[in-house]
Amino acid sequence: MLTSEQSIVEYKDGRAIPDRLTQAAHRHYRDYAERMLAVYRDGAGRQRRALHKEIGAIFAEEPDCPVRRIQAFCKLLDDAAVYRTDPAGKASKLRLEVFSRACSLHPLVQKPDRLFEHQEAQAKAELARDLGMSWEEIESALYGDVVAFQQLESFPGYSDAAAFLSRYNVAQLQAALYRAERMVVTSTGDLKIIIRYAKLARLLHEIERLGPSTYRITFSGPISVLHETRRYGVNFARFLPALLACKGWELAAIVQTPWKTKATLLVSDADRFTSHLPAPEEFDSALEESFAKKFGPARDGWRLIREGDILHDRQTTFIPDFTFRHDNGTEVHLEIVGFWTPEYLEQKRQTLRRFHRHRILLAVPERSLREDAAVTDNIILYKTALKIEPVIAALEATRNQPGR
């Protein structure tokens, strides 16, 4: 994804309008994109800074290309590239060795004389011989731990120019959400998939039913909920490409402008942004996947259903993580709380009270509870993994409750 410094957003009449390259206004950018991709495809062995410089040169005569757009192109190209890194710290060790040996020869000159007797070329040759490397190899490896000097190994890249430009448009849309205070998605289709993606992105959300097949999902924003605003803002941005892969939705986000005012970002599936994401994972988290594998399709008379029905109470909606159906027809729903705030946990408790006519269990990490918190029968505590035994015990206890 892009950084905030690479984001381009126009604020006009209360609207936030991210930069977007369109076929009508930017048809000539397809040629630019092909040239940029060619630079990286043919750039194996070249340093990152040299590649960036060549990308900038492509737009030297283009009046409609701000510096931030060029920087964004470079970031997206780098994200799709593989660079040679230095995890073992060999570059810093080499620098220490070279500089330690060279300090006694300082200063180096092109032509030695009586005052300055150490010639640069000769000193380099001696250092290379002592280190068992050519000077070209030394120069190449000397700053291998500095990002700008990293060398390109390969470029899996983008399939074509259209895919690259499409990724740019989505990336600018993502970056506009970094400072979102609130985001509302209205869904008329793919609701379960949208909710699954929201959970994968660890977004706190509430769902309301507006009509027979229309739902409103309200997401708490990074500024309004958490202190770690950047971390949660990235989660907002991570969710967006997943939403773009769905059908029947509209998004309205309230974002903070650089002048501390508010603006609205509006986008829908009718805007025809293209997602680069594959199909969603079967499970929302490793915790859920691990539990489902351990539990299996059925156990002790209970059958596990990955996605149960959508529960409604007037305009409020609840989609549990799992539904368990017993051989006698009893159904129990399980919601697993992973990423949380005290307010979010309290909202989950209110959900349990609202849907008290349904059998619902809530799995909660122990670290999220206050010392004096009361643990009711429908709450299952876990440390790092949700174990089978307490879940079975809770299912049986819920099944045997009178009047349910």
Measure the CA–CA gap between 75 and 7, rounded to whole angstroms.
11
Residues 220 and 189 in one domain: yes
Asked which of 35-39, 73-77, 384-388 is least confident by mean pLDDT, the reply is 384-388
Helix or strand run (H / E) with residue 322: strand 322-326
Would you list the DSSP string of 133-182?
Answer: S-HHHHHHHTTTTSGGGPEEEE----SSHHHHHHHHHHHHHHHTTTTEEE
Residues 63 and 126 in one domain: no
Residue 305: strand, helix, or coil:
strand
Residues 241 and 339 in one domain: no
Instruction: Look at residue 365 and tell me whether its pLDDT is greater than 80.
Output: yes
Range of the domain at 98: 90-145
pLDDT confidence band for 314 (50 / 70 / 90) = low
Task: Express each pLDDT in 40-75 by its tens digit.
Answer: 999 999 999 999 999 999 999 999 999 999 999 999
Write down the mean pLDDT value for the chain.
86
Supply 95's token pair.
């620098």
Q: In this predicted structure, what is the pLDDT of residue 348? A: 72
Instruction: Look at residue 228 and tell me whether its pLDDT is greater than 50.
Output: no
Whether residue 78 is contained in a domain is answered as yes
Whether residue 357 is contained in a domain is answered as yes
**Measured CA distances, 302 to 162, 274, 322, 333 (Å):** 50, 41, 12, 12
Residues 138 and 162 in one domain: no
- Residue ending a domain, among 226, 259, 280, is 280
- Give the sign of the dihedral formed by CA 137, CA 140, CA 142, CA 144: negative
Residues 256 and 140 in one domain: no
Query: For the residues 368-385, what does the mean pLDDT come to?
Result: 76
Whether residue 13 is contained in a domain is answered as no
Measure the CA–CA gap between 218 and 238, rounded to whole angstroms.
16
Residues 222 and 345 in one domain: no
Q: Angle 67-79/29-41 helices, nearest 10 degrees?
A: 40
Instruction: Look at residue 193 and tell me whether its pLDDT is greater than 60.
Output: yes
Q: What is the largest CA-CA distance in the chain?
A: 104
Smallest Cα–Cα separation from 205: which of 309, 284, 283? 284
Query: For the residues 289-315, what does the mean pLDDT come to?
Result: 83
The structural domain count of the chain equals 4
Question: What CATH number is associated with residue 304?
Answer: 3.40.1350
Residues 35 and 164 in one domain: yes
* pTM greater than 0.75: no
Query: For the residues 286-314, what does the mean pLDDT come to?
Result: 84
Residues 49 and 166 in one domain: yes
Whether residue 59 is contained in a domain is answered as yes
Q: Is 74 exposed, middle or buried (0-12, 13-18, 19+ CB in 10 A)?
A: buried
Whether residue 189 is contained in a domain is answered as yes
Supply 175's token pair.
């970056």
Whether residue 379 is contained in a domain is answered as yes
Task: Express each pLDDT in 390-404 by its tens digit.
Answer: 999 999 998 877 655
- Residue ending a domain, among 232, 257, 280, is 280
Residues 275 and 205 in one domain: yes
Question: What CATH number is associated with residue 254?
Answer: 3.30.70.1150
Task: Express each pLDDT in 3-19 by its tens digit.
Answer: 999 999 999 999 999 99
Instruction: Look at residue 208 and tell me whether its pLDDT is greater than 50.
Output: yes
Backbone angles phi, psi at 16, to 5 degrees: -105, 120
Residues 244 and 342 in one domain: no
pLDDT confidence band for 227 (50 / 70 / 90) = very low
Whether residue 295 is contained in a domain is answered as yes
Whether residue 61 is contained in a domain is answered as yes
Supply 55's token pair.
């990308």
Residues 161 and 34 in one domain: yes
Residues 247 and 264 in one domain: yes
Task: Express each pLDDT in 229-264 by its tens digit.
Answer: 455 667 888 899 999 999 899 999 999 899 989 999
Helix or strand run (H / E) with residue 323: strand 322-326
- Residue ending a domain, among 222, 254, 280, is 280
Give me the helices (H) in 14-112, please.
29-41, 48-58, 67-79, 90-102
pLDDT > 70: what percent of the chain? 89
Query: For the residues 326-345, what does the mean pLDDT come to?
Result: 79
Task: Express each pLDDT in 73-109 by its tens digit.
Answer: 999 999 999 999 888 888 899 999 989 888 888 888 8
Cβ-contact 209, 315 below 8 angstroms:
yes
Measure the CA–CA gap between 157 and 41, rounded to whole angstroms.
8
